[in-house]
Amino acid sequence: MSTVDSDDLRQRAREFLREHDHTTVERLEFLRARFDAGLAWVHFPSGLGGLDAPRAAQAVVDAEFEAVGAPDNDPRRIGIGLGMAAPTILQFGTEEQQQRFLRPLWTGEEVWCQLFSEPGAGSDLAALGTRAEWDGAGWVVEGQKVWTSSAHVARWAILVTRTDPDVPKHQGMTYFVADMTAPGVEVRPLRQLTGEAEFNEVFLNDVRIPDTQRLGEVGEGWRVAQSTLMNERVAIGGRPMPREGGMVGVVARTWRERPELRTPELHDRLLTLWVQAEAARLAGDRLRQQLAVGRPGPEGSAMKLAFARLSQELSALEVELLGEEGLRYDDWTLRRPDIVDFTGREAGYRYLRAKGNSIEGGTSEVLRNIIAERVLGLPAEPRADKDVAWKDLPR
């Protein structure tokens, strides 16, 4: 860890802004220069967008850029890259991989997606069957992935495959970076309850991947994937949030602006959820403090679990508060959004879309198991297939 402190970072940010006028410099050029100056994610190593500074100091830098209206990297559009791919590449990637992928990932030049879940391997990710076979010159991948956000706009994907079917399921997996423009990659939209298709199914038909795009050792894909998943749950449930940020702010604003909708029963429910949302927000602040001195652990699963429950209960309360008006949902056309916009849409949309929060990023049922076993230390669930070769598992 470097000796760079908050005052030094603040000064560096101000000097950078004096030297790079965001009103005259082209946006992408500005973002590239910010990355090269180490002011992208300050806790990353020097040369990779950071300054080896404490993670908590990022807020100091971001505040300086926001104060002058400087362009950001549109983090909602590239959230999978920022929250999942980047920390995995930093932890397991080679120097060449880090130099190749991290800069265009952070600037948003290259969008990423996540090829993990399969039709027969969702909650039990280790049951996946997408095969990667070595043919002497590279890896040849065959299989299907599903529930893939942003696959229709992604340039790269983080991909987990089965490379050894003769060992137990957790041992025979290998992790890759996959080119979404490679021959044999087919992306098909999955229409959701909202009418949108932000998700996709992805077919991999004899897709070739060079060994230089492998992350971690052959057979260690489960360990690499666990790092990705822990970071994903923090990214979904542990984002920095102001008081009354997110769904609770939307519902509270409706409550204040529409007094004719209020009832004592709805008031009690809103107050209870407001307190729970504030407790979750403060717990998220504490989790980010823990992250400042280490890597994400199972605590991120608790944050993601709380986020899903609160989103669903608050969106349901909003619909009930609005009555018939809350049932309106005007746009059922098939759209292919780059980002999910909760706060800029109707209450009916929020209610429907929130149903997915307890599935994406790990189902709430799986997260409860993780919390029980790895946080509370309760006995593990019996797993009869733990020592059975993947090829012998029933399908």
Do residues 162 and 128 touch, judged by C-beta distance below 8 A? yes
* CA-angle at 11, arms to 10 and 17, nearest 5°: 90
Encoded amino acid at 375, one letter: V
Distance CA 158, CA 140 (A): 15
Distance CA 200, CA 218 (A): 27
Single out the catalytic residue among 118, 198, 201, 232: 232
Do residues 32 and 107 touch, judged by C-beta distance below 8 A? yes
Q: Tell me whether residue 232 is one of the annotated catalytic residues.
A: yes
User: Which residues, 6+ apart, have CB-to-CB distance to 185 below 8 Å?
Assistant: 178, 179, 202, 203, 204, 205, 207
344-358: string of b/e by CB count within 10 Å (b at 16+)?
Answer: ebbbbbbbbbbbbbb
Do residues 310 and 273 touch, judged by C-beta distance below 8 A? yes
Termini Cα distance of the chain: 48
Catalytic residues: 232
